[in-house]
Amino acid sequence: MQTILLNTKQRPSEVLCGEGAFAAAREYLAGKQAFVVTDKNVYGLYADAIADAFPAAQVCVVPAGERHKNRTTLFRILDQMFAAGLHRGSFVVALGGGVVGDMAGLAAALYMRGTRLVQVPTTLLAQVDSSVGGKTAVDHRGVKNAVGTFYQPERVFADPLFLHTLPAREVKCGLGEIVKTGILDAAIGDKLGAGSRLRDVAFLQELAADCIRFKARVVEADETETQGLRKCLNLGHTTGHALELLYGRRSHGEYVLIGLWLESLIAEREGVCSPAWAEEVRRRVAAAEPRIPAFRGARRGLEFALHDKKNAGGGVSLVLPKARGEYALFTLSPQKYGDYLALLEEGADARRGYARAERGSAPARAGEEQ
Amino acid sequence: MQTILLNTKQRPSEVLCGEGAFAAAREYLAGKQAFVVTDKNVYGLYADAIADAFPAAQVCVVPAGERHKNRTTLFRILDQMFAAGLHRGSFVVALGGGVVGDMAGLAAALYMRGTRLVQVPTTLLAQVDSSVGGKTAVDHRGVKNAVGTFYQPERVFADPLFLHTLPAREVKCGLGEIVKTGILDAAIGDKLGAGSRLRDVAFLQELAADCIRFKARVVEADETETQGLRKCLNLGHTTGHALELLYGRRSHGEYVLIGLWLESLIAEREGVCSPAWAEEVRRRVAAAEPRIPAFRGARRGLEFALHDKKNAGGGVSLVLPKARGEYALFTLSPQKYGDYLALLEEGADARRGYARAERGSAPARAGEEQ
């Protein structure tokens, strides 16, 4: 088990990562008033483990899935916190994937202006990314993470025991952020190598600590995403979020992979990176997501991209791969970005960029993915 | 005009206080994307001044009054912010009293995880107290400020021009916090003197800067109310909030004054302060609120006090006057605090404490004030 320190202005945070982390959570919360937030899927698998680890805790089970990450669920959690008589010294334990972490984190931030917060991420995605850094939110009016705040957990306990029950699709979801981090950080990229071990959970768990350490450094430098530095973490995410909001069938991580793929094309065509590096990015995407599906009406993702909180002033802001371990901030006109999105109207082998010129949209029913 | 600096971990904040502050706000926001939140009462009086000062700003007018300080209004504000296409660099301008400041501040904190925030307090209460220190919230499920966060404004512009239209009752509302600050801070208490100038708005404005300076020192030492220090600001508030939630007819400041009065009795009887100091506290309360009304069923305020975020672990936490410029934290059993609340069943001359022993509740219809 590794311990990674994260010193933010809000509070010092410790990430415990590896085997034994869940036992450490149990010990940390022993004798304290705890309120566990989890979802139906996780509870179905781990109800006994939760009851065993936190015998005195109230458990709040919310419906699973991003479409429930909204204000209705948020206030259901808050109402149960009031009913449980929590006070500011009580612990909210976010035990689940990114959706649970985001919502429980926001509830902890808002309840009586802030209770104590512990994250116990149960998915690869949450372990390598969303449980670390203090971002909390719910979606609202078709905007991802539209309403939220920055609220640092006191402790994050990332235990691989939860990964053994993780469906393959959820593993792939975590891969999105791992591949992204490998593009931003040369050493992690080298470890990832040709991607042949991406189905090996033990190997991924090994990488998790590196990804967390990388993210911790970025978050320390730019806690509330105001200095520009933290933006690098949004590599692939402008497109990923737009597709996620438009289609919503696949997981966040899969859309991030597809976003990375399209944005490697944009980077190449706009002269931000060399064709060789763009190809390397696509090769890494392909190791996790070999085929880019065809998205009917993908151009309509533009309206979601324009509502994205990363964007201000009419343009579409992208974080693009620049070179090994380097990124660039780049702004495209809405028209031009829409044209790039339209490239997704047809499927592709992820290792390839599109050779042909952009074409007009096919007769499309937006919101459908072929 | 005075400038008071407030250095919090979140961000440095500047309070501009005195004539010319509103003009300074106009200058500060010139050329920036601004979104003004105000209420019907303030807008009715100052629509022209707002349009003149912030010609390009969108104006969001919410219904006036504490009963609208809830999640419905909060999300109405957020929805209008989305419709206006605000981004993280846009300014939310909270132009109104404490209710507007609390809700607009929370909306600014939550929109895209935080926009820029400016407070333009228009009531004496908001100028001396609520606009400074970063507390934001809405009420929820009968708990005052149950859902909120700490979010520091970049600037506070407190201009006396707004005080000229302030109804007498609203002036009295501000007096609650000024009298409270005078009990906590000896120098401000001495300036207040016998209270003969409490109806003189120019004099109160003079005191406002002192109160803000006092509060700024406390907030800097304990930004998120976790060190205990900031609790001193809750003198009179446990009882004040309980009555406010139970009856809700009078203003926050009036309930604080009544809370100060009852808590001076508690402090005296529990041996926390001398009878002479308790009398001095009551004398100052009486200068602003000569008569303590009779509250039928006041004991029922207990359940609100027990839900108060200041309370944990079954007891009722009070901040009591101890001596000139000193306070004490004190916890009472619910039974005993209920008995003290029952003293409010009969009205009194505010200068007096009750001589007789506590009595059983009169046949009461809770929620009615005689």
- At B312, is the pLDDT very low, low, confident or very high (cuts 50, 70, 90)? low
Asked if residues B308 and B256 have their Cβ atoms less than 8 Å apart, the reply is no
DSSP state of B127: I
What distance in Å separates residue A284's CA from the closest CA in chain B? Answer: 31
Nearest to A79 among B113, B141, B224 (CB): B141
pLDDT, tens digit (0-9, with 9 covering 90-100), for B73-123: 999 999 999 999 999 999 999 999 999 999 999 999 999 999 999 999 999
Tell me the HSE value of B210 on the side-chain side, using a 13 A CA sphere.
20
Domain with CATH 3.40.50.1970 in chain B: 2-172
Q: Which has the minimum average pLDDT: B23-27, B57-61, B209-213, B307-311?
A: B307-311
Mean pLDDT of A142-153: 94
Q: How far apart are CA A196 and CA A175, in angstroms?
A: 12
Mean pLDDT of B318-329: 94
Domain with CATH 1.20.1090.10 in chain B: 235-370
Mean pLDDT of A251-279: 95
Q: Which of A80, A103, A147, A154 to mutate to test the interface with B (most CBs of B within 10 A)?
A: A147
Return the CATH fold of A2-172.
Rossmann fold (3.40.50)
- At B313, is the pLDDT very low, low, confident or very high (cuts 50, 70, 90)? low
DSSP state of B322: E
Asked if residues B113 and A137 have their Cβ atoms less than 8 Å apart, the reply is yes
Give residue B311's pLDDT.
61
Say if the Cβ atoms of A88 and B9 lie within 8 Å. Answer: no
pLDDT, tens digit (0-9, with 9 covering 90-100), for B21-43: 999 999 999 999 999 999 999 99
Q: How far apart are CA A279 and CA A36, in angstroms?
A: 44
Mean pLDDT of A135-155: 94
Mean pLDDT of B255-279: 96
Say if the Cβ atoms of B224 and A113 lie within 8 Å. Answer: yes
Closest CA to A184 of A210, A158, A209, A152: A210
Q: Which amino acid is at B22?
A: F
Q: Does position B360 have pLDDT exceeding 90, yes or no?
A: no
- At A225, is the pLDDT very low, low, confident or very high (cuts 50, 70, 90)? confident
Cβ neighbours around A30 below 10 Å, total:
12
Chain B residues closer than 8 Å to A137 by CB: 113
* Residue A180 host element (H or E): helix A168-184
CB of B76 less than 8 A from some CB of A: no
pTM of the model: 0.88
What distance in Å separates residue B19's CA from the closest CA in chain A? Answer: 33
CB of B351 less than 8 A from some CB of A: no
Its ipTM equals 0.87
Q: How far apart are CA A151 and CA A134, in angstroms?
A: 5
Helix runs in B98-251, H state only? 98-110, 124-125, 168-184, 186-192, 201-221, 237-246
Give residue B363's pLDDT.
39
Say if the Cβ atoms of A114 and B224 lie within 8 Å. Answer: yes
Q: Which has the minimum average pLDDT: A71-80, A109-118, A141-150, A361-370?
A: A361-370
pLDDT, tens digit (0-9, with 9 covering 90-100), for A352-370: 876 443 343 343 344 444 4
What architecture is domain B235-370? Up-down Bundle (1.20)
Q: Which of B113, B116, B135, B331 to mutate to test the interface with A (most CBs of A within 10 A)?
A: B113
DSSP state of B359: -
CB of A149 less than 8 A from some CB of B: yes
Say if the Cβ atoms of B307 and A82 lie within 8 Å. Answer: yes
C-alpha of A79 from chain center: 27
Cβ neighbours around B152 below 10 Å, total:
24
